Structure 1
């Protein structure tokens, strides 16, 4: 019996327009009406995530920044897990050594040390997720979007390292060369032994405290709600979703999910652009989950 549904946002709950579709919103509300809890687990910060749910009339709790922060339904922080400043210094040094752009999400908001690169990274995301948008238009949209976002700019991230009033919660590094460049960087950073390094898109890596993971945060939330993990349904599409796909009794991978990520999920649903969250919820509420079993799990059962 499903008592809690937890969904990722980008590539999962959100469509190519970065919106929660009416179909998804309706399905989530139907589940809530049946007494099922709903929660969002995202790599986004709270101020980037909450408005998109409020826009469709959904009030819920949030796991944000891959598990570095947890918010209750009233929008209050109930957990903070940051990266120690010595490690922050070392991570930034490795990123800059490769001439890559990075930014930080902190207890005081998002920080960037290069406005042009910030616009470029957002434009690349919009371009990749919106096939009908030209790159030039994506740059225009990115610049407009950043004008209304509360982004802090610093000349040097060392300012944050030496500011004891600010806690660094997540560092995200970008490269248009994708895994070719980010793969070796990930291996180098993993040597510290105290970092969780995932990705939400092919052109980035997201760096958190090793204890700041969606799966760990979900286990803690489930314990507070007194809900067994086997009664939880999770949905995701990328590597920062793996930890929560692994712990849930009912785990769904989107049709558009990374192929390796799909191997961690027990079930499949349609793509984010086809309201895959709603499709999965419908299957669950109508006791039709077997039709969505992952091929490898069906093969294993037959053997």
Structure 2
């Protein structure tokens, strides 16, 4: 069985955060050919399904880099979390680095999720971080913590290298960048590539060919389990080097182009 795993932001979505008709049509064609299509994203589930057209695709959605896996009908198939102890340890190493911290939980994002920051000035975003009491999150009833994101202003991207160097000393986490100015931190069980293989096992499927599409550091693990992997033209050069192939940009229906004209799956 063939599987196509597609990132959302910067990949399936154009810069207006929309799914083009061309990309919608190609996904429907893949489904008619009995090819398993997966949306594999760093976003939280509510931020995925609010994108126009996503629910109509009726495909599995893997969220938070594989921390949560949903069936097409919205049923939760799998989740993995960061322990309270690990959360405290991460705060202790990140806060001295003077980076913004987003916390993704089963009760929402604190102080926000990444899509909710879009269009805001950095001064406004910084104020949100400054006003967030990160200890108070632990007092929420039955809280589960799925992911942290360290975020910096786009003029201060070099600081992300310091974040990654510090995090590399910690066990039991996985981290990668979905954009150059961030670092996403999850359980080491939460990786896009692992999620594809986990879904295969959960559903008793056998993927003899896997094709993946992405533009960020959190896509590298799905590239690693793929027969062929496609970096978008808009991806950073270091991501392009990790993919087997390149396709057109997210504003040029690069996913649809590769599936139809390079892979010729439909």
Give the secondary structure class of the aligned counterpart of 1:79: strand
- Distance in 1 separating the partners of 2:205 and 2:223: 16
- Distance in 1 separating the partners of 2:248 and 2:70: 28
The corresponding residue for 1:67 is 66
1:175 equivalent to 2:152? Answer yes
The corresponding residue for 1:246 is 224
The corresponding residue for 2:213 is 235
Q: CA deviation at 1:81?
A: 0.7
Map 1:71-110; keep pairs closer than 5 Å.
71-110=70-109
Q: CA deviation at 1:199?
A: 0.7
- Distance in 1 separating the partners of 2:94 and 2:135: 13
Q: CA deviation at 1:122?
A: 2.4
- Structure 2 gaps, min length 5: none
Within the candidate set 257, 282, 292, 2:260 is matched to 282
The corresponding residue for 1:44 is 43
- Distance in 2 separating the partners of 1:227 and 1:267: 26
- Distance in 2 separating the partners of 1:220 and 1:206: 20
Q: CA deviation at 1:249?
A: 1.1
Larger radius of gyration: 1
The corresponding residue for 1:262 is 240
> Is contact 2:173-2:185 (8 Å) kept?
yes
- Distance in 1 separating the partners of 2:114 and 2:5: 29
Map 1:114-125; keep pairs closer than 5 Å.
121-123=117-119
* Structure having the larger proportion of residues in helix: 1
Q: CA deviation at 1:90?
A: 1.8
Map 1:187-206; keep pairs closer than 5 Å.
187-206=165-184
1:220 equivalent to 2:198? Answer yes
The corresponding residue for 2:188 is 210
Give the secondary structure class of the aligned counterpart of 1:52: coil
Q: CA deviation at 1:17?
A: 0.1
- Distance in 1 separating the partners of 2:116 and 2:61: 28
1:16 equivalent to 2:12? Answer no
Q: CA deviation at 1:283?
A: 2.6
* Deviation beyond 6 Å, 4+ runs, structure 1: 117-120
- Distance in 2 separating the partners of 1:202 and 1:246: 20
> Is contact 2:106-2:143 (8 Å) kept?
yes
- Distance in 2 separating the partners of 1:160 and 1:184: 26
- Distance in 1 separating the partners of 2:134 and 2:51: 30
Give the secondary structure class of the aligned counterpart of 1:19: coil
1:272 equivalent to 2:256? Answer no
Q: How many residues align?
A: 261
Change (3 A) 1:209 1:275: same
Q: CA deviation at 1:162?
A: 4.6
The corresponding residue for 1:295 is none
- Structure 1 gaps, min length 5: 125-134, 143-150, 289-303
> Is contact 2:19-2:53 (8 Å) kept?
no
Change (3 A) 1:251 1:93: same
